[in-house]
């Protein structure tokens, strides 16, 4: 691959919402055969399966990761396998096992085999009731109320420890809710902000599980992918932070999101029936100060609510017309 740095990359959680698109972006950049997608049990999409290597692993079982790292001579890991906030509240033990023990296994393998770099995203779920909700600072109180948030705080601390103690170059950011037209999210609190688009296109109705005035930070998938690639390619000497960058793109209420969709689909109707996820949403910040990410590695989002909505609705409407909205 002339002009491009050779890498042998492992992606965990590659069947998930971020993983499925990040894997394809990495394959395009580094070559299909150099990016090994892995998942625990869900079958990969034909696109993922047919474009490069795919293996089943369980990140909570170190040997299953090691076998793939060994076989493909992996030097870089994008560790995306995780249980999200809503499922984590239903299965807290599983959430701890996958998110903390899984990360520990990846970091140990990176230490033992001197891997070049590890990516592990954190989340706005590290924040909580005692965190300032407006323009949440980079350095602030972490007081998560969910098991998912607890695992992400532990994960950030673990990553920093591995960097300082063992020199493992591990990086990550606190993702807000991620919205995408390609793969549905699995079990997060911010999932309503994706489901609303699908239901607007399919049925022109949506019952939202958070209140109309619920404001959360969100990001469109192309920006999420760009942020991961950019952070991973930044020279280490530029970074003061490593695995806990605040990251922002846009913040809006569920009502504002519905109103933006209505501009394209005037007959769209939304009802609000908050469930247990409302409490989680209420514990998270509304807006985020991401100046460290901007200063240290040049972060800048490309999409706002209007641009994202136009793009989402165009893609989903095209798929719906072909009878493939949910694939
Ligand atoms: C969730 O809702 O659990 C995730 C997140 C904000 O990390 N989307």
> For 27-66, what is each residue's pLDDT tens digit?
999 999 999 999 998 899 999 999 999 999 999 999 999 9
Q: Tell if the pTM clears 0.75, that is, is over it.
A: yes
Residue 123 alpha carbon, nearest atom of ligand 1: 7
Integer Rg of the chain from CA: 19
* CB 218 near ligand 1, within 6 Å: no
Arithmetic mean of pLDDT, 116-128: 98
Residue 185 alpha carbon, nearest atom of ligand 1: 8
* CB 121 near ligand 1, within 6 Å: no
* CB 85 near ligand 1, within 6 Å: yes
- What average pLDDT is seen over the chain? 96
| Atom 6, ligand 1: residue with shortest CA distance | 177
Q: What is the pLDDT of residue 2?
A: 46
Give dist(CA 230, CA 19) in Å, integer. Answer: 16
Which residues are catalytic, by number?
A: 148
| Residue corresponding to tokens 């296994």 | 105
Q: How far is the CA of 176 from the centre of ligand 1 (A)?
A: 7
Q: How far is the CA of 283 from the centre of ligand 1 (A)?
A: 12
Give dist(CA 94, CA 147) in Å, integer. Answer: 10
| Atom 7, ligand 1: residue with shortest CA distance | 123
Q: How far is the CA of 294 from the centre of ligand 1 (A)?
A: 22
Residue 145 corresponds to which tokens in the numbers above? 């109320």
| Atom 1, ligand 1: residue with shortest CA distance | 188
Give dist(CA 22, CA 9) in Å, integer. Answer: 11
CB 118 within 8 A of CB 76: yes
Arithmetic mean of pLDDT, 199-226: 98
Residue 116 corresponds to which tokens in the numbers above? 């070049």
Q: How far is the CA of 148 from the centre of ligand 1 (A)?
A: 9
CB 17 within 8 A of CB 178: yes
Tell me which residue of 80, 71, 64, 283 sits closest to 190, measured CA to CA. Answer: 283
Longest Cα separation, the chain: 58
Tens-digit pLDDT profile for residues 253-307: 999 999 999 999 999 999 999 999 999 999 999 999 999 999 999 999 999 999 9
Residue 157 corresponds to which tokens in the numbers above? 């601390």
Q: What is the pLDDT of residue 185?
A: 86
For 317, half-sphere exposure in the C-beta direction (CA atoms, 13 angstrom radius) is: 11
* CB 120 near ligand 1, within 6 Å: no
Q: If residue 138 lies in a helix (H) or strand (E), which one and from where to where? A: none
Look up residue 43 and give its DSSP letter. P
Q: What is the pLDDT of residue 186?
A: 86
Q: Is the pLDDT of residue 110 over 80?
A: yes
CB 278 within 8 A of CB 195: no
Strand runs (DSSP E) across the chain, as ranges? 9-12, 35-39, 54-56, 76-79, 117-119, 122-123, 170-171, 173-175, 177-179, 205-208, 215-220, 245-246, 250-253, 269-272
Arithmetic mean of pLDDT, 299-323: 98
| Residue corresponding to tokens 């609303």 | 196
Which range has the worst mean pLDDT, 4-8, 69-73, 201-205? 4-8
* CB 175 near ligand 1, within 6 Å: yes
Q: What is the pLDDT of residue 5?
A: 63
Which domains does the chain possess?
A: 6-176 (3.40.50.720), 178-218+249-321 (3.90.25.10)
Look up residue 34 and give its DSSP letter. G
Q: If residue 306 lies in a helix (H) or strand (E), which one and from where to where? A: helix 305-321
Q: Which residue out of 175, 219, 247 has the highest number of ligand 1 atoms within 8 Å of its CB and is therefore the one to mutate?
A: 175
Q: Is the pLDDT of residue 78 over 60?
A: yes
| Atom 4, ligand 1: residue with shortest CA distance | 188
Residue 108 corresponds to which tokens in the numbers above? 């140990």
Tell me which residue of 235, 246, 265, 250 sits closest to 303, measured CA to CA. Answer: 250
Give dist(CA 278, CA 189) in Å, integer. Answer: 8
Give dist(CA 47, CA 289) in Å, integer. Answer: 36
Q: What is the pLDDT of residue 42?
A: 87
* CB 128 near ligand 1, within 6 Å: no
Q: What is the pLDDT of residue 139?
A: 98
pLDDT above 70: percentage of residues in the chain: 98
| Residue corresponding to tokens 């706002």 | 304
Q: What is the pLDDT of residue 4?
A: 52
* CB 192 near ligand 1, within 6 Å: no
Q: Are strands 205-208 and 245-246 parallel, antiparallel or unpaired?
A: unpaired
* CB 124 near ligand 1, within 6 Å: yes
- Count how many residues are written for the chain: 327
Instruction: Name every residue whose Cβ is closer than 8 Å to that of residue 161 and which is 6 or more positions away in sequence.
Output: none
């Amino acid at each position: 691959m002339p002009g491009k740095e050779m890498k042998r990359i492992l992606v965990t959680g590659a069947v998930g919402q971020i993983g499925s698109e990040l894997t394809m972006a990495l394959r395009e950049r580094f070559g299909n055969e150099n990016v090994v997608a892995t998942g625990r049990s869900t079958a990969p999409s034909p696109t993922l399966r047919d474009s490069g290597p795919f293996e089943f692993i369980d990140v909570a079982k170190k040997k299953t990761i090691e076998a793939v790292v060994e076989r493909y001579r992996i030097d870089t890991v994008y560790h995306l396998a995780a249980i999200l906030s809503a499922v984590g509240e239903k299965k807290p033990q599983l959430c701890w096992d996958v998110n903390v023990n899984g990360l520990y296994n990846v970091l140990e393998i990176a230490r033992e085999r001197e891997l070049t770099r590890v990516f592990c995203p954190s989340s706005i779920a590290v924040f909580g009731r005692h965190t300032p909700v407006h323009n949440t600072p980079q350095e602030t109180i972490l007081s998560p109320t969910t098991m998912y948030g607890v695992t992400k705080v532990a994960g950030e601390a673990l990553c920093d420890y591995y960097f300082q103690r063992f020199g493992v170059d591990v990086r990550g950011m606190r993702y807000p809710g991620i919205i995408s037209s390609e793969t549905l999210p699995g079990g997060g609190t911010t999932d309503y902000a994706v489901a609303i688009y699908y239901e607007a296109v399919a049925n022109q109705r949506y019952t939202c599980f958070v209140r109309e005035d619920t404001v959360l930070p969100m990001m469109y998938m192309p920006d999420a992918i760009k942020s991961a690639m950019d952070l991973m390619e930044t020279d280490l000497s530029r970074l003061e932070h490593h695995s806990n960058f605040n990251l922002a793109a846009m913040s809006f209420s569920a009502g504002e999101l519905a109103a933006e969709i209505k501009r394209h689909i005037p007959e769209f109707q939304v009802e609000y029936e908050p469930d247990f996820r409302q409490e989680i949403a209420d514990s998270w910040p509304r807006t985020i100060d991401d100046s460290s990410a901007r200063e240290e590695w040049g972060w800048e989002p490309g999409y706002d609510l209007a641009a994202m909505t136009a793009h989402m609705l165009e893609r989903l409407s095209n798929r719906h017309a072909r009878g493939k909205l949910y694939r």
